Structure 1
Amino acid sequence: MVDIASRVWNHKWKIDPIVRSLIDTDFYKLLMCQSVFRNKPETQVTFSLINRSKHIPLADLIDEGELREQLDHIRSLSLSRGESTWLRGNTFYGKRQMFRPDFMEWFEGLRLPPYHLERKGDQYELTFEGSWPEVMLWEIPALAVLMELRSRAVLDRMGRFELQVLYARGMTRVWEKIEALREIPDLSIADFGTRRRHSFLWQDWCVQAMQEGLGDAFTGTSNCKIAMSREVEAIGTNAHELPMVYAALAKDDAALAQAPYDVLQDWHDEHEGNLRIILPDTYGTKGFLDNAPDWLAGWTGIRVDSGDPAVAAQTAIDWWKSRGEDPSEKRVIFSDGLDVAKIKELHQQFAGKVKASFGWGTLLTNDFRGLVPDDALAPFSLVCKAVKANGSPTVKLSDNPNKAMGPQSEIDRYKRIFGVGDQAAQKVIV
């Protein structure tokens, strides 16, 4: 097992680049990338970094030269032979050859496209432009780099023994959480913590701790690199990016209203009925389900990623019942702002009603709250989103208006088209 504190203290850049592989990313990015490669390969997109936590002055904390060095390193990466073999030959979700030969040939030759970086006050403007299949693969590595450079800025001020104590306390915290989760019967939980992790080494340690501490209750990790090296399942399906871009490409209001369902039709065709998890909250969960075609009710389940998770899950249960489906046979994946208390609460509330599972993110892989002065390692909300598609702005409404994004005029239009009324604002945890 890696001595993380010593590795941080004796830091050598070439040993520990922040992103060390093109598959040091979330599994759903690769699944979505293959779908985009097949269905929308010519679409031009712009992705942009968005720091929701404005009180974190990233440009004051992170040296621009070091940031560029890390981003340039990512542009030098390509798939290794072992990584390609794993993607081509492994079984994912019970299916061999999840990734088609034409996609793999393209991916094996890929280098990520250029980036644009500029300081604006105490923040960085970081954008990526180009073809959708290429640009979309910047999202996770870009977030990982910013998050870890912020962590390193704090750690660089600490002495050797301070670092040893910090990581001992952090490990104890994670293990105490795992011990608490052991008390939950029939738990199903995965690591979803790549995008806002403390560091690659820390995420890798957390996955190993979950493997040992939870056994079969730990179902896998979203991180492909760690899944491959630790021989656990790679977990993931799709994200808001798909409906956001499809919606931006819509030519009129009718096409816009249909766009979220076009996404899932393409997804169904791509995966031949596998990976049938609905993410319904991009433009409001209730409206999405009320207007959904009947064939979607037969899908495996939904992922709840914003708003009040209990309300969203109950909305899905009511919808399944109205469409003649048995909710107890459906999967509900909770993935927004989770920690142990919320996981326990939701599991108890929905046990027997649905097959509840949990994608545990930032508060697994980046919970150093209260462990350093001024809480300087507390996690914060940083995202990298598609903001334009073929020149048109993207929009996300969410079930939490604090997560909404896009020009206000377009937000108002989308709310009208998707029938989104008043929403209860909730604190964005991470």
Structure 2
Amino acid sequence: MKLPQIINSLLETDLYKFSMGMTIYHQFPSYRTTWTFKCRNTDVHFTEEMVEEIREQIKAYCDIKFTEEELNYLKKIKWLKEDYVDFLRLWHPRFEDFEINDDAECGLSIEAKGTWVNSSMYEIPTLAIVNEVYFRMAYDYDELMDSFKEKLSEKCRRISENSVHLGTFSEFGLRRRLSGEAQELAVKKINEAVKGSGSSFIGTSNVYLAKKYNLTPVGTMAHEYIMCVGQGDNKHNAAYSNWYALNAWIREYSVLNGIALTDTVTTDIFLRDFQLTFATMFNGVRHDSGDPYEWGEKMIKHYESLGIDPKTKSLLFSDSLDFDKASALYDHFSDRIKVAFGIGTYISNDTKVKALNIVMKTTECNGHPVAKISDTPGKGMCKDPSYVDYLTRTLDWRLNHE
């Protein structure tokens, strides 16, 4: 490796990988998945030198194991069961599960295949490695850090002076961070800036940083969970993906760890399944695509239609937020429902150059395609257009015939 090792702890991932991971371990241990990397920036190219560095960094990541201190920390998370933590004592990434090449349109191709309980854990560290390698090797990193620090100082000033109203918010930027150094600095400085302000910084999705700074680790489920639970079994009707996924989640956690993601196969379909039992047991819902104001109004109306007081529930916004967008949403909704924000790239990779728009998505489960049909056209990713067409037709049929 030419660069310092980027991932140095298996806690350096988003919390929802553990909450989903425990559900997978208990209920779907035989499921197998394929994960595919994609760079959405059309003007970005990874050189052969970058690809080789990414390969070596991933290989180094695969040599890490959990320490007893880290496992003891995970045991303190009230909804993680001891048998799953004991499994993690034996678990570590497998480099053999990765295929890393330099023959893609952007110069970088990555696929990871294996059991879902394994391959799910690879997404976040892989994206963090790709980001940091790219920005350290494509630019003058010191100049980027200088611009990052300058912008971070301005963010902290706005928080401390109450020029933005963020209510309750957390940092979600691990997968697209400039570097581990940048993310840690942002978490530390923002946690200091909120003291005495009108905003509340409750934590970070990065479990390693949450442990280090005694913050709350934040996260519940991602699209992969609903896609694979709902579409990974051929006996399931994919139009009911949300029902299968939420039902399994309730079996795992009951009323704990309860923020549901709404847009895997569109929010309109989600609401068909998010009826009284689920709506009561889940603490709230997360927004990740589509117009956030339309979505929020729709969710408030839905809770009211079920006889549930919206003020007892939470809206968690997490789609491409900055402080101004979050502050405006807070002002719009906070007197009618609890509002929280997960803010990612704007905190962890705001520099003088454009951030990468990279993803690593589940493209197959148990040997056949899976897909996301979000509230924003184009956010989905599937290798098989015919499956996307099939899924779209099943969703349309349900909307028009139920």
TM above 0.5 = yes
Does the 8 A contact of 1:25 with 1:223 survive in 2?
Answer: yes
Helix, strand or coil at the partner of 2:194 = helix
Check whether the contact 2:62–2:92 (CA below 8 A) recurs between aligned residues. Answer: yes
Q: Output aligned runs, 1:108-147, within 5 Å.
A: 108-113=89-94, 114=96, 115-121=98-104, 122-147=106-131
Cα 1:421–1:390 change in 2 (3 A) is: closer
Matching residue of 1:50? 38
In structure 1, the residue matched to 2:133 is 149
Aligned residue identity for 2:373:
L
Q: CA deviation at 1:381?
A: 1.1
**Gap change, CA 1:186 and 1:201, over 3 Å in 2:** closer
The correspondence of residues 86-101 of structure 1 with structure 2, limited to 5 A, is 86-88=73-75, 90=76, 92=77, 95=78, 98-101=79-82
1:87-236 equivalences under 5 Å are 87-88=74-75, 90=76, 92=77, 95=78, 98-113=79-94, 114=96, 115-121=98-104, 122-155=106-139, 157=140, 163=142, 166-181=144-159, 182-185=162-165, 187-215=167-195, 217-236=200-219
Q: By how many angstroms is 1:312 displaced?
A: 1.0
Deviation digits for residues 57-89 of structure 1 (CA, Å, limit 9, x no counterpart): 12x27523211110110110000121111112x
Aligned to 1:294: 276
C-alpha contact (below 8 Å) 2:123/2:360 kept by paired residues: yes
Distance in 2 (alpha carbons) for counterparts of 1:384 and 1:106:
25
Give, in whole Å, the separation in 2 of the partners of 1:22 and 1:12: 21
Q: Is the 8 A contact 2:203 2:217 kept in 1?
A: yes
- Sort the Cα spacing of 1:311 and 1:357 in 2 relative to 1 into closer, same or farther, 3 A: same
1:428 paired residue number: none
2:341 aligned with 1:358: yes
Q: Which amino acid aligns with 1:51?
A: C
What is the letter of the counterpart of residue 131 of structure 1? Answer: T
Instruction: State the Cα deviation string for residues 377-423 of structure 1 (Å, max 9, x = none).
Output: x112111111111101010011001202222222222222223999x
| Contact 2:99/2:110, CA 8 A, preserved across alignment | yes
Separation (CA, whole Å) in 2 of partners of 1:202 and 1:223: 13
Deviation at residue 120 of structure 1 after TM alignment: 1.4
Where do 1:312-331 residues align within 5 Å?
A: 312-331=295-314
What amino acid is the match of 1:255?
A: N
**CA shift for structure 1 position 184:** 4.1
1:105–1:357: structure 2 CA closer, same or farther, 3 Å change rule? same
C-alpha change, 1:185 and 1:45, in structure 2 (3 Å) is: closer
Compared CA separation, residues 38 and 180, structure 1 to 2 (3 A): same
Residue 8 of structure 2: which of 13, 20, 27 is its match? 20
Please point out which of 69, 73, 76 is paired with 2:60. 73
Deviation at 1:239, TM superposition (A): 0.7
**Which residue identity is paired with 1:207?**
V
- Kept after mapping to 1: 8 A contact 2:37/2:361: yes
Structure 1 residue 273 corresponds to structure 2 residue 255: yes
The alpha carbon displacement at 1:178 in A equals 2.8
Question: Secondary structure of the residue that 1:403 maps to in structure 2?
Answer: coil
Structure 1 residue 292: Cα displacement: 3.0
Q: 2:361 aligns with which of 385, 401, 404?
A: 385
Q: Provide the rounded CA distance (Å) in 2 between the counterparts of 1:350 and 1:196.
A: 28
% identity of equivalent residues: 28
> Does the CA-based 8 Å contact 1:335-1:360 persist in structure 2?
yes
Change in CA separation of 1:412 and 1:12 when aligned onto 2, cut-off 3 Å: closer
* Stretch deviating more after TM superposition (110-119 or 20-29): 110-119
Whole-angstrom distance in 2 between the partners of 1:187 and 1:291? 29
- Out of 386, 389, 400, the position equivalent to 1:409 is 386
- Unpaired runs of at least 5, structure 1: 1-10, 423-430
Deviation at 1:54, TM superposition (A): 2.8
Deviates most, 114-123 or 176-185: 176-185
Secondary structure class of the residue paired with 2:237:
helix
Which residue of the partner structure matches residue 328 of structure 2? 345
Task: Report the AA paired with residue 197 of structure 1.
Answer: R
Deviation at 1:123, TM superposition (A): 2.2
SS in 2 for 1:219: strand
* TM-score after normalising by structure 1: 0.86
CA deviations over 1:317-347 (Å, ceiling 9, x no partner): 1111111111122100000100111111111
Structure 1 residue 287, shift from structure 2 partner? 2.1
Deviation for aligned residue 1:108:
1.0
Contact 2:65/2:92, CA 8 A, preserved across alignment: yes
1: distance between equivalents of 2:264 and 2:120?
Answer: 18
Alpha-carbon distance change, 123 to 421 in structure 1, aligned in 2, over 3 angstroms: farther
**Are the counterparts in 2 of residues 44 and 390 from structure 1 also a CA contact under 8 Å?**
yes
> Could you list the runs of 5+ residues in structure 2 that have no partner in the other structure?
none
CA contact (8 A) 1:387 1:395 kept: yes
Q: Is the 8 A contact 1:282 1:396 kept in 2?
A: yes
Letter in 2 for 1:399: D
> What is the rounded CA distance, in whole Å, between the counterparts of 1:259 and 1:191 in structure 2?
28
Q: Distance between the aligned counterparts of 1:404 and 1:188, measured in 2?
A: 29
Aligned residue pair count: 389
Local SS of the residue matching 1:195: helix
CA distance in 1, matches of 2:369, 2:170: 33
